Amino acid sequence: MNQDELKKAAARAALAELAALPPHSLIGIGTGSTVDHFIDALAGSGTRIRGAVSSSEASSERLAAHGIPLVRLDDAETLPLYIDGADEIDHGFNMIKGGGGALTREKIIAAAAQRFICICDASKRVATLGRFPLPVEVIPMARVQVAREIVRLTGGEARWREGFITDNGNCILDIHGLAIADPRALESDLNQIAGVVSNGLFARRGADVLLLAAAERVWRGERQSSAASSR
Ligand code: 5RP
């Protein structure tokens, strides 16, 4: 199986997670090619949900094209499940996300959800986060100042994702050259820089369940409760 087929397998496996939900539940939907496969699988599955809270314009368009109702987060009294991909995930289910630039809305919806289900192919599993450049969403007028602060804080290289504007009208700096020993601490420290909107470390709110597709099967794992309760 190639990488795209593995993404599709992880996405299909996520349908089973919906079976435990009461009929007509709302779910949160992330962004990216793996999530696109999930949206397509959901639409074709006959699974009855009331609607979806979407993390990006791209996912909203795809959901709408399938006739899946979009619901604003403000109108979602409970959100039992959030389904999203990742750029990297470690053994504690901490993640780097935001390769598609939707990290801020993803983080907001993940924070509101009771359960975060991460779907990805086995290439995303790492021992230490940081080989994938860590995205940081930044207010445009603060870009250069924030880049300097990031270099001072992390020792990494902050590269502007030129020509890319987030759905929130901001820019992205990608931090290259990291090996992240303490994801929770770095997530907090980056958020202290004036001008940072959010960063792509999902450690304070990591995944609860991982569906990881490898050639032989889709592996399902749950985060240890001690890690979950320290959130
Ligand atoms: C988008 C994300 C995605 O989840 C991440 O980039 C993985 O994408 P893909 O499923 O295309 O590999 O965080 O902001």
What DSSP string runs through 162-194? Answer: TT---TTS-EEEEEES--BS-HHHHHHHHHTST
Question: One of 57, 61, 77, 106 is an active-site residue; which one?
Answer: 106
* Residue identifier of the C-alpha nearest atom 8 of ligand 1: 32
Which of 35, 83, 96 is the best mutation target for the ligand 1 pocket, counting ligand atoms within 8 Å of the beta carbon and taking the most? 35
For the cut 50, the answer to whether the pLDDT of residue 230 exceeds it is no
> Hey, whose CA ends up nearest to atom 2 of ligand 1?
98
The SS3 assignment for 36 reads helix
Confidence of residue 48 (pLDDT cuts 50, 70, 90): confident
**Distance from the CA of 96 to the center of ligand 1, in angstroms?**
9
Question: Residues of CATH 3.40.50.1360 domain(s) within the chain?
Answer: 3-126+204-227
What is the distance between the alpha carbons of residues 137 and 139, in angstroms, rounded to a whole number?
7
User: Are the C-beta atoms of residues 138 and 172 closer than 8 Å to each other?
Assistant: yes
Measured CA distances, 132 to 81, 140, 204, 209 (Å): 26, 23, 19, 21
* Strand-pair category, 157-160 with 49-54: unpaired
Q: Three-class SS of residue 68?
A: coil
Tokens of 116: 């975060």
Q: What is the mean pLDDT of residues 149-178?
A: 98
Helices (H) and strands (E) in the chain, counts: 7, 13
Kind of pairing, strands 95-96 and 201-202?
A: antiparallel
Mutate to test the pocket of ligand 1, among 3, 31, 201 (most ligand atoms within 8 A of CB): 31
Q: Is 106 one of the catalytic residues?
A: yes
CA of 161 relative to ligand 1 center, distance in Å: 16
CATH topology of domain 134-200: Alpha-Beta Plaits (3.30.70)
3-class DSSP state for residue 77? coil
The predicted-structure confidence for 106-131, as pLDDT tens digits, reads as follows 999 999 999 999 999 999 999 999 99
Cα 28 to middle of ligand 1, angstroms: 15
pLDDT 10s digits, 3-42: 999 999 999 999 999 988 988 899 999 999 999 999 999 9
Residues with CB under 6 A from ligand 1: 30-34, 84-87, 97-103, 106
Task: Find the 83 Cα to ligand 1 centroid distance in Å.
Answer: 11
CA distances from 168 to 41, 49, 103, 118, 231 (A): 28, 27, 11, 23, 26
Please answer whether residues 211 and 9 qualify as being in contact, where contact means their C-beta atoms are separated by less than 8 angstroms: no
From-to residues of CATH 3.30.70.260 in the chain: 134-200
User: Taking CA 112 as the corner, what is the angle to CA 219 and CA 231, rounded to the nearest 5 degrees?
Assistant: 70
Q: Assign domain 3-126+204-227 one CATH number from 3.40.50.1360, 2.60.40.10, 3.90.1480.20, 3.40.630.30.
A: 3.40.50.1360
pLDDT score, position 229: 40
Which atom belonging to ligand 1 lies closest to the Cα atom of 84? 4
Q: Which amino acid appears at position 170 of this protein?
A: N
Query: What pLDDT, on a 0 to 100 scale, did the predictor assign at position 103?
Result: 98
| Concatenated DSSP letters of 3-20 | HHHHHHHHHHHHHHHHTT
